[in-house]
Structure 1
Amino acid sequence: MAEIDTWPTGRLLSVAARLVEGRFHEFLAAHGLTHAGLIALHHLVDGPLTQRELAGLCRVTDQTMSRTIGHLRRAGFVGTHADGRDRRRVLVTITGTGSETLELAHEAERSSEQLLGAVEDYEGFRRELVRLITLG
């Protein structure tokens, strides 16, 4: 592994991203969740959304979001109900189980040595990633 010190930064980022993503995928699967489902739950924390609103926030098609919502509903992470103001609209809400699972995923990401817990300054690392992405 001594040669890793000579790798270009882009290669380091790419390999690190694949490793963390693979490990996080295993963690999520063990909890009945997918990356897409995790993103949807993240957006539902602030309150109910329609499928179309949720799809827009997650940057996926309505059809893709429909499948994601179906999976989340079967797992007990979300519920759906008619909008009281417009009965034609269906609202998606996060359940208590969904909130607990989302928090568990956030904690695992921060604390697991297999994920980003290995990073000494987690919040600083996040800030730098956000800065790097928003500059591009």
Structure 2
Amino acid sequence: MGSWPTGRLLSVAARVLERRFDEALAGHGLTHAGLIALHHLVAGPLAQRPLAAQCRVAEQTMSRTIDRLARAGYVSRRPDELDRRRVVIELTEPGAGVLAALRRAERESEALLGSLADYEHFREQLIGLVVALERAEPEQIAQQAE
């Protein structure tokens, strides 16, 4: 593996980690989309459209995710006090509990990311990478590869 290009290493790591996270999430009746929605609801209740935007998914996808989360008891729905036509999604106590347990597992579980020597430094580097990649234009990437 020492000779592999960095892109391949990242790709393999992502696939392995995704499988492990899938197993951990399934044990709680969650998907990646559900976990992301719970994460965004920690800051407070949101209507479906802004929640979908924050999660970077279509409203239809968010609707299915919210349905699953509500059936599991991780979120509740209530009418918006300012606009009765809108429904607000709110994190429940069980939802906050499962999110906390999964965050703890990510940091501490050897099967997930707990085996990292410096978890916070690794996160900072990943955030920097994602930000840089999102800023890079596809044309720039193609030109640099030539």
Q: CA deviation at 1:17?
A: 1.1
CA distance in 2, matches of 1:73, 1:104: 18
2:137 counterpart residue number? none
CA distance in 1, matches of 2:76, 2:109: 30
Q: CA deviation at 1:9?
A: 1.8
2:64 counterpart residue number? 67
CA distance in 1, matches of 2:81, 2:5: 55
Structure with bigger RCO (C-alpha 8 Å, 6+ apart): 1
The unaligned stretches of length 5 or more in structure 1 are none
Q: CA deviation at 1:8?
A: 2.0
- The answer to whether 1:47 aligns with 2:51 is no
- The answer to whether 1:103 aligns with 2:93 is no
- The answer to whether 1:91 aligns with 2:91 is no
CA distance in 2, matches of 1:8, 1:130: 20
Runs of 4+ in 1 over 6 A off after TM superposition: none
CA distance in 2, matches of 1:7, 1:60: 32
Identical aligned pairs, as a percentage?
59
Q: CA RMSD in A?
A: 0.8
Q: Partner of 1:118: helix, strand, or coil?
A: coil
Q: CA deviation at 1:85?
A: 1.4
1:7 counterpart residue number? 4
Q: CA deviation at 1:62?
A: 1.0
Q: Partner of 1:92: helix, strand, or coil?
A: strand
Pick aligned residue for 1:38 from 31, 35, 38 = 35
TM-score normalised per structure 1? 0.95
CA distance in 2, matches of 1:42, 1:125: 20
TM-score normalised per structure 2? 0.88
- The answer to whether 1:20 aligns with 2:28 is no
- What count of residue pairs does the alignment treat as equivalent? 133
After superposition, the C-alpha distances for 1:66-102 in whole angstroms (9 at most, x for unaligned) are: 1000000000000000011111111000000000000
